[in-house]
Structure 1
Amino acid sequence: TVKLLRKPFLGVLYNNATDSLTELLGNPHPGGCYVVEVVKDSTLDKAGVKRGDMIYEINGHKVDIYGEMSTPWSEDKISLINYVGRLSIGQEMTLIVYRKGERKEVTVAFSQSSLPAIRKIFPGYEEIDYEIFGGMVVMPLSFNHIARLGNNSPGLARFAEMKNQSESVLVITHIFPNSQLARSRTVGVGA
């Protein structure tokens, strides 16, 4: 059997901050990276990090407004994502986070975040789940479907956003020609 390796993920999406944003939130300058979304049940969700927080420090390494930090093993700044790639599962992390001017220090064990229900599937490496009934093929929605069906089913585009990926959604991926369903023309692929 072949196993897929997944990149470690803290469970937050962050954006560059600015001096104005730091000031608006009442946080000390020069600021940290701005958390725009927290994935449910992820490492930082369990640590209590919320949308709108600013991450200032991880394990003693100061995080700048671009989500980069200086470390002893690199002469250049590295991104928060690259730093997370060096963490071990179970390793304790201490974060300094500011929420509307209030300093919070949290410690949490780094864990691999569970995979979102709607994600990219790798055929040949992962089992493909589907059901055939009533003249159609129904599958759990994945990024693979969004890429192929997105032009014909614009409603699927909303599932590209992380906040809409936590719960599984079924999608019709094929309707058999000459089936009763195809002749009825009531439902189409991507519905």
Structure 2
Amino acid sequence: MKQAIRQAAFVLLTAAFVAATSATALAGIPFFSKDELPSLAPMLEGTTPAIVSIAVKGTQPTRQQVPEMFRYFFGAPNNQAQERPFRGLGSGVIIDASKGYIVTNNHVVDNADEILVKLTDGRELVATKLGADEQSDIALLQIDAERLNELKVADSNNLRVGDFVVAIGNPFGLSQTVTSGIVSALGRSGLNIGGYEDFIQTDAAINRGNSGGALVNLRGELVGINTAIFGPNGGNVGIGFAIPSNMMQSLVDQIIEFGEVRRGLLGIVGRDVDAGLAEAFNSQVNIGAFVNEVAPGTAAEKAGLQAGDIISEINGNSLSGFNELRAKIASLGAGAEVELTVIRAGKTQKVDVVLDAAAAALAEAKEVHPALEGATLSNGKDSDGKDAVIIDEVAESSPAAGIGLREDDIIVGVNRNRVDNISELTERIADKKDVIALNVKRGNSNLYIVIR
């Protein structure tokens, strides 16, 4: 009986798969082999040559903790900086064969002194890094070679939960590994994986080494860049994440044009919409981004956004929450024109916004002090309306997290001296040769975080 049930289930699943992958429906790509069994092989034969293996080597800084009692003998500070060599493996996707452009994750090539790309035909080529963005975990490489294959980039806004997808990469150094699954969720954020999160979640198996590889639809088009897994000990448990192709393409276009990512800035403070907020503000939409505050002189104020607005869509695509809006705005870039769907007093309206440049206001905290690495700072206001430095993000297991900094902390001083912006914070810290005490506001509390 159990065997019969299993066989019936297999027949139903196969029928559903065949219906979803009709031999004539997907741009003429046949999904049947000679014996008429459904197969992804024809699609993969044209797709996998665009997926490359990436090997890197380089050095990265570490800090050796020297116990107090031995410092006299070693003549070293408590956290002496050292360089440690490393090697790593990852994956990449060729998106432009004529120019040799390869997209991968920033964490695959970060701090690399040498990047070696291996193609499916056995060729090995040294790649040049054209640019990268740590907060969104995207990097653009270039190789000089002929006879390359590229993937067509699809519109990731057309993805739906339940769509079939295939992950291609080099997990554990096993080149050209293919796994399949479905889109499990869209617009995932709040995972503390990166600074700007708007992930595609999939149950296609993603493991170490898949980073930077391709997530493709059944047409063989690129819909995402595999970037992370969620599971114990780094093993696959059916929860993987990919950066949407639209987000990737916007960032890559900025790197190609400017050599860097120039983030867009809307100029609002907000939170996720819930049922209580929706009812209080007479909204029929229970998800989206709620506007708590509109900063003066920003793109949001110029466009007419108001505190109490609920932003339900961006460029006609629905929003799951504030973090998704924040990630999309940042990746679209300065000067981008954006159409927001806004619910105000129960009525829906369209608001056109031209985004400001956020690059001048944002800084990596490691540029201020090594102990702050892993945090992202911006100029802002404290609860009293005074200028201060805001902690926008704190990466998990980073030095900044280790000293006790948290997201939304507000730095208002260094060693009891007031600081109003990142520039002043940098100057104050540079003046201190020994102990540095950051005066931090956290909610309604004031505290000191000590850096030695």
TM-score range, shorter chain: 0.5 to 0.7
Q: 2:414 pairs with 148, 158, 168, which one?
A: 148
**Percent identical:** 24
1:26 partnered with 2:290: no
**Mapping of 1:1-191 within 5 angstroms?**
7-64=263-320, 66-67=321-322, 79-112=324-357, 143=389, 146-149=412-415, 152=416
Q: Deviations over 1:36-82 (max 9, x none)?
A: 11111111111111111111111111112x325xxxxxxxxxx2222
Aligned to 2:279, what secondary structure does the other structure show? helix
Over 3 Å counting, the alpha-carbon distance change for 1:19 and 1:111 in structure 2 is same
Aligned to 1:46, what secondary structure does the other structure show? helix
Q: Deviations over 1:131-172 (max 9, x none)?
A: xxxxxxxxxx764982414xx47xx59x7xxxxx8xxxxxxx
Aligned to 1:93, what secondary structure does the other structure show? strand
- Shift in Å, 1:109: 2.0
- Structure 1 or 2, whichever has the larger Rg, is 2
1:90/1:111 contact within 8 Å kept? yes
TM-score, with normalisation over the residues of structure 2?
Answer: 0.24
- RMSD over aligned CA atoms reads 4.0
TM-score, with normalisation over the residues of structure 1?
Answer: 0.52
What one-letter code is carried by the residue in structure 2 that aligns with 1:108? V
Which residue does 2:378 correspond to in 1? none
What one-letter code is carried by the residue in structure 2 that aligns with 1:14? G
1:41/1:113 contact within 8 Å kept? no
Over 3 Å counting, the alpha-carbon distance change for 1:147 and 1:98 in structure 2 is same
What one-letter code is carried by the residue in structure 1 that aligns with 2:273? A
Instruction: Please list every run of 5 or more consecutive structure 1 residues that lacks an aligned counterpart in the other structure.
Output: 69-78, 124-140, 160-164, 166-172, 175-191
Over 3 Å counting, the alpha-carbon distance change for 1:89 and 1:99 in structure 2 is same
Find the aligned partners of 1:143 and 1:97 in 2 and give their Cα distance: 30
Over 3 Å counting, the alpha-carbon distance change for 1:146 and 1:94 in structure 2 is same
What one-letter code is carried by the residue in structure 2 that aligns with 1:87? L
What one-letter code is carried by the residue in structure 2 that aligns with 1:56? S
Find the aligned partners of 2:326 and 2:313 in 1 and give their Cα distance: 14
Instruction: Please list every run of 5 or more consecutive structure 2 residues that lacks an aligned counterpart in the other structure.
Output: 1-259, 369-386, 391-410, 422-427, 432-452
2:263/2:334 contact within 8 Å kept? no
- Shift in Å, 1:91: 2.3
Aligned to 1:85, what secondary structure does the other structure show? helix
What one-letter code is carried by the residue in structure 2 that aligns with 1:111? D
Which residue does 2:70 correspond to in 1? none
Q: Deviations over 1:3-34 (max 9, x none)?
A: x9764321111112210110111011224211
Find the aligned partners of 2:277 and 2:309 in 1 and give their Cα distance: 11
Tell me how many residue pairs correspond in the alignment.
131
Higher share of residues assigned strand: 2
Which residue does 2:214 correspond to in 1? none
1:92/1:110 contact within 8 Å kept? yes
What one-letter code is carried by the residue in structure 2 that aligns with 1:47? A
Find the aligned partners of 1:115 and 1:45 in 2 and give their Cα distance: 19
Over 3 Å counting, the alpha-carbon distance change for 1:5 and 1:147 in structure 2 is farther
- Shift in Å, 1:110: 2.1
